[in-house]
């Protein structure tokens, strides 16, 4: 394939998970393909060497940097100035991996694709400072004007794009992100014992993984904890925010703070054992674009109790449990049902594990190359 694709690599070189993982996994899937085009990854700066090293080396790939030293100059380059670099480098198509396209790219005659992960700032603006919400909104509608085609990472995200805009439905395709199968690897007894000691894990626990912020709504699980067997603890793995204090104050006031374990900075290598030693995975987030932790939990052999209202039912499948994000009694009932019945817990876990196989090796490179062909008229 004799075409040259430019990609927005800011998150690839800066973000450990989430948007960064999406970009690195996509690039690796493309370079592993026999039909890989020439790829140029544009980033404001070199970012982190450990993240760049996760991108497979290939003669079909190179990084390109802005050459700007100051943050404002880098932002201006990524938002508009990069277009001159794309023209200089002979880029045929530019792929915005994180919901943004530079201003003027279409006018410059460069074809475009953009991946949109979620529209949280439109669905739940209450979680944003007013100025940030206005900025994200402006970028979204500007990007729609620049985009030849859109990739939504879930049917939920596609529905949101159509609800909040008049962008043509026939120019939006859903391509699920390719999820690693690493969490299917069974952690050995020694590994599990070491992880249990390292984090002082209780014998029985319910697990939650994700940033501890209001939108993720871990408070629902905390409120349900008092209705669960005393032996059960709640282990929360994620970056702390001011919301963490609110959660722990509630827990202390209701006498369950001694049953909560907060873990921050857990390396990815320890996560499989953390998942596999848990009894149930809980994910009461009010809104997600995809819900990767739900998939990781299902791959790890855990039943899941998640919230209704976004894409989590799409991610976890019909056999896991879903409750209203404001109904702590329903959350407690679902958890108790799974905790009280080993056969039911195993049944739900097995069905969920089979369901999420659709997100592993899901032809992502082939689908993406087909998308590029649509835009380029090949």
* pLDDT range class, residue 362, cuts 50, 70, 90: low
- Give the integer Cα–Cα distance in Å for 123 and 44: 29
- Domain range summary for the chain, segments of one domain joined by +: 4-178+361-376, 182-359
Residue 1 is predicted with a pLDDT of 52
Identical fold, 4-178+361-376 and 182-359: yes
CATH class of segment(s) 4-178+361-376: alpha beta
* pLDDT range class, residue 114, cuts 50, 70, 90: very high
Of all residues in the chain, the percent with pLDDT exceeding 70 is: 99
Residue 148 is predicted with a pLDDT of 97
Residue 313 is predicted with a pLDDT of 94
pLDDT tens, residue by residue, 125-136: 998 999 999 999
Residues in the chain: 378
pLDDT tens, residue by residue, 276-322: 999 999 999 999 988 889 999 999 999 999 999 888 999 999 999 99
Of all residues in the chain, the percent with pLDDT exceeding 90 is: 87
Query: What separation in angstroms does the CA of 119 have from each of 63, 148, 151, 345, 346?
Result: 29, 19, 13, 33, 35
Residues 6+ apart with CB under 8 A from 271: 183, 209, 237, 296
Residue 368 is predicted with a pLDDT of 94
* pLDDT range class, residue 245, cuts 50, 70, 90: very high
**Contact (CB, 8 A) for 118 and 140:** no
pLDDT of 60 strictly over 70:
yes
Domain 182-359: homologous superfamily in CATH: Glycogen Phosphorylase B; (3.40.50.2000)
- Please state the pTM of the whole predicted model: 0.86
* pLDDT range class, residue 47, cuts 50, 70, 90: very high
Residue 262, CB-side half-sphere exposure with 13 Å CA sphere: 16
Q: Average pLDDT of 68-77?
A: 94
Residue 371, CB-side half-sphere exposure with 13 Å CA sphere: 27
pLDDT of 17 strictly over 80:
no
SS3 211: coil
Residue 179 is predicted with a pLDDT of 80
Residue 201 is predicted with a pLDDT of 97
Query: What does 54-102 look like in DSSP terms, one character per residue?
Result: TSPP-TTEEEEE----SHHHHHHIIIIIHHHHHHHTT-SEEEETTS---
User: Taking all residues of the chain, what is their mean pLDDT, rounded to a whole number?
Assistant: 94
**Contact (CB, 8 A) for 378 and 158:** no
- Give the integer Cα–Cα distance in Å for 226 and 238: 22
* pLDDT range class, residue 83, cuts 50, 70, 90: very high
**Residue 141 neighbours by CB distance under 10 Å:** 11
């Amino acid at each position: 394939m004799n075409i040259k694709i430019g990609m927005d690599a800011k998150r690839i070189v800066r973000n450990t998970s989430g948007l960064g993982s999406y970009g690195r996994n996509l690039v690796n899937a493309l370079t592993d393909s026999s039909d890989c085009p020439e790829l140029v990854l544009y980033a404001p700066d070199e970012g982190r060497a450990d993240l760049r090293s996760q991108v497979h080396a290939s003669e079909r790939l190179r990084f390109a940097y802005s050459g700007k030293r100051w943050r404002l100059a880098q932002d201006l380059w990524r938002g508009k100035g990069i277009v001159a670099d794309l023209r200089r480098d002979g880029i045929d198509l530019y792929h915005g991996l994180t919901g943004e396209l530079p201003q003027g790219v279409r006018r410059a005659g460069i074809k475009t694709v953009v991946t949109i992960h979620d529209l949280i700032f439109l669905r739940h603006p209450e979680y944003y400072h007013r100025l940030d919400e206005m900025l994200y909104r402006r970028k979204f509608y500007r990007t729609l004007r620049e985009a030849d085609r859109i990739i939504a990472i879930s049917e939920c995200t596609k529905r949101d794009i159509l609800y909040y805009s008049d962008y043509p439905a026939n120019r939006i395709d859903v391509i699920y992100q390719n999820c690693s199968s690493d969490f299917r690897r069974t952690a050995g007894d020694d590994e599990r014992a070491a992880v249990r000691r390292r984090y002082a894990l209780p014998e029985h626990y319910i697990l939650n993984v994700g940033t501890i912020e209001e939108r993720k709504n871990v408070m629902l699980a905390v409120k349900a904890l008092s209705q669960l067997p005393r032996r059960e603890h709640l282990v929360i793995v994620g970056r702390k925010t001011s919301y963490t204090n609110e959660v722990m104050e509630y827990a202390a006031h209701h006498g369950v703070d001694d049953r909560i374990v907060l873990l921050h900075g857990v390396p990815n290598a320890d996560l499989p054992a953390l998942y596999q030693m848990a009894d149930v995975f809980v994910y009461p987030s009010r809104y997600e674009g995809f819900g990767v932790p739900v998939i990781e939990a299902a791959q790890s052999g855990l039943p899941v109790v998640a919230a209704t209202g976004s894409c989590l039912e799409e991610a976890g499948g019909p056999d896991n449990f879903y409750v209203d994000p404001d109904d702590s009694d329903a959350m407690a009932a679902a958890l108790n049902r799974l905790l009280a019945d080993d056969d039911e817990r195993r049944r739900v876990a097995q069905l969920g594990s089979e369901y999420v196989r659709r997100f592993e090796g899901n032809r992502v490179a082939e689908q993406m190359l087909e998308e590029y062909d649509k835009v380029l008229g090949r």
